[in-house]
């Protein structure tokens, strides 16, 4: 049973949190405030249980920073939405990590939303993501729209650095690459990112070290007309939702995924396996890296989910399907992240939801 002191600390933190929620736009508060407050209280109790008052202080500090930055982004979204209503479907070229892309539209007729969240237990966010929807119709026709998610490893500054290098390099190299084959261009961009990260590792220590080196997963997708091209390294994932069914397109490069494919354990057992977080392929760990490539055809009404294991490791595929089929993309990403946090949020959580509209 919780002590009186614990209950008072949680109550005080909750009141402060609710005051900070008032900085969000009214529509956002009506949709998410109650669930966000409930998740925060659960995280407070967990922090007190594991680290006493100091844990609550650390959680509060990271939460205040996250609330302030996301509040600013939500107000920017509201402004962009109003400008869009006044001036038409002019959209930003790039939606960087952490900035939700609210109903991006283009000749491809896409609705896109994205968000990254620190989770309940980490002191820093090492995930990164990016959406690129070219304003130039010719570039959009030739190269398509780009979506990238990366999950960094190696501690606060290093993991964040690795994932940021991955998303920025893939974006820059892919759109500069003149090769007509999208898969080849995407693989080349990811390999260039691997080279940059590996060079930084070598400059730092002379060799990759699991304890001091940095690395990152990378899932990248190009959507051009109705063709989806995916390139993957690590265990971040992309799903396609088609006619009420969800299907993972990418292939996890992890020990437990290989054990599931070999029939040694079930998917449910993999979710609780002690080695579930061990991956054997990541950018930056070697001078050369193999990149898996997949190609799919999508149809009007289909949806895509790109995410890190902070989401798909906690929220079952069926739950993600239900959320994305029920809500529009901008609310779907919030619901997906809230669901992962409600399940404990032990890792950073990142998601991009893309809907191909009719």
pLDDT at residue 99, rounded to an integer: 47
Measuring CA to CA, which residue among 132, 40, 169 is closest to residue 32? Answer: 40
How close are the terminal C-alpha atoms of the chain, in Å? Answer: 53
How far is it, in rounded angstroms, from Cα 260 to Cα 328? 33
Query: Mean pLDDT over residues 79-106, rounded?
Result: 50
pLDDT at 67 over 70: no
Q: What pLDDT is attached to residue 45?
A: 73
Which segment of 4-13, 272-281, 314-323 scores lowest on mean pLDDT? 4-13
Position 78 confidence tier, pLDDT thresholds 50, 70, 90: low
Mean pLDDT of 313-334: 95
94-138 residue pLDDT tens: 555 544 544 444 455 899 999 999 999 998 999 999 999 998 889
What tens digit of pLDDT does each residue of 42-56 get? 777 777 777 777 766
Which one is predicted more confidently, 82 or 194?
A: 194
Nearest-angstrom CA–CA distance, 256 and 56: 33
List the strands of the sheet with 349-356, edge to edge: 110-117, 349-356, 303-307, 237-242, 245-248
Q: Please determine, for residue 87, whether its predicted confidence score (pLDDT) is greater than 50.
A: no
Indicate the helix (H) or strand (E) that contains 112.
strand 110-117
Of residues 29 and 54, the one with the higher pLDDT is 54
How do residues 248-286 score in pLDDT, each as one tens digit?
999 999 888 788 788 887 777 777 776 777 899 999 999
What pLDDT band is residue 66 in, cutting at 50, 70 and 90? low
What is 91-356's CATH number, 3.60.40.10, 3.10.580.10, 3.30.420.40, 3.40.50.300? 3.60.40.10
Domain borders along the chain are 1-88, 91-356
What is the mean pLDDT of the segment spanning 224-242?
A: 96
**DSSP letter string over 120-161?**
TT-SS--EEEEEE--SSHHHHHHH-EEEEEEEEESSHHHHHH
What backbone phi and psi angles, to 5 degrees, belong to 160? -65, -40
Of residues 138 and 92, more confidence is placed in 138
Distance separating alpha carbons of residues 291 and 232, to the nearest angstrom:
6
**Distance from C-alpha of 310 to C-alpha of 341, rounded to nearest angstrom:** 9
Computed over every residue of the chain, the mean pLDDT equals 83
- Concatenated DSSP letters of 219-282: EEEEEETTEEEEEEESS-EEEEEETTEEEE-S---BHHHHHHHTTSS-HHHHHH-TTTT-BS--
What pLDDT is stored for residue 185 in this prediction? 96
Ramachandran class of 229: left when φ > 0, alpha when ψ lies in -120 to 50, beta otherwise: beta
Q: What is the mean pLDDT of residues 145-167?
A: 89
Average pLDDT over residues 91-96: 50
Check residue 356 and give left, alpha or beta (phi > 0: left; psi -120 to 50: alpha). beta
Confidence at 341, pLDDT banded by 50, 70, 90: very high
> Any idea which residue has 């010719």 for tokens?
138
Q: Measured over all CA atoms, what is the biggest interatomic distance in the chain, rounded to whole angstroms?
A: 66
């Amino acid at each position: 049973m919780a002590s009186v002191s614990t209950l008072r600390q949680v109550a005080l933190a909750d009141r402060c949190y609710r005051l900070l929620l008032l900085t969000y736009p009214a529509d956002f508060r009506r949709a998410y405030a109650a669930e966000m407050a409930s998740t925060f209280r659960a995280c407070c109790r967990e922090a007190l249980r594991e680290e006493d008052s100091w844990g609550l202080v650390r959680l509060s500090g990271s939460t205040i920073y996250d609330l302030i930055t996301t509040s600013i982004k939500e107000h920017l979204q509201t402004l962009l939405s109003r400008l869009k209503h006044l001036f038409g479907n002019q959209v930003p070229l790039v939606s960087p990590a952490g900035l939700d892309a609210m109903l991006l539209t283009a000749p491809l007729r896409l609705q896109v939303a994205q968000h990254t969240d620190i989770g309940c237990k980490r002191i820093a966010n090492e995930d990164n993501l990016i959406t690129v929807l070219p304003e130039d119709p010719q570039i959009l026709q030739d190269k398509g729209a780009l979506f990238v998610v990366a999950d960094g490893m190696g501690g606060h500054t290093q993991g964040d650095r690795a994932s940021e290098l991955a998303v920025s390099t893939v974006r820059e190299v892919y759109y500069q690459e003149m090769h007509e084959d999208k898969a080849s261009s995407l693989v080349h961009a990811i390999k260039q990112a691997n080279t940059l990260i590996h060079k930084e590792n070598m400059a730092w220590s002379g060799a990759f070290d699991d304890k001091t080196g940095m690395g990152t997963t990378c899932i990248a997708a190009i959507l051009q007309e109705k063709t989806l091209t995916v390139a993957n390294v690590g265990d971040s994932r992309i799903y396609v939702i088609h006619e009420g069914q969800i299907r993972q397109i990418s292939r996890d490069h992890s020990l437990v995924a290989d054990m599931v494919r070999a029939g040694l354990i079930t998917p449910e057992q993999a979710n609780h396996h002690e080695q579930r977080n061990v991956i054997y392929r990541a950018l930056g760990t070697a001078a050369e890296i193999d990149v898996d490539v997949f190609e799919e055809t999508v149809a009007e009404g289909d949806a895509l989910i790109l995410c890190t294991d902070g989401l798909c490791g906690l929220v079952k595929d069926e739950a993600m399907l239900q959320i994305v089929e029920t809500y529009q993309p901008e609310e779907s990403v919030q619901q997906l992240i809230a669901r992962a946090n409600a399940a404990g949020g032990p890792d950073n959580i990142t998601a991009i939801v893309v809907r191909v509209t009719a």
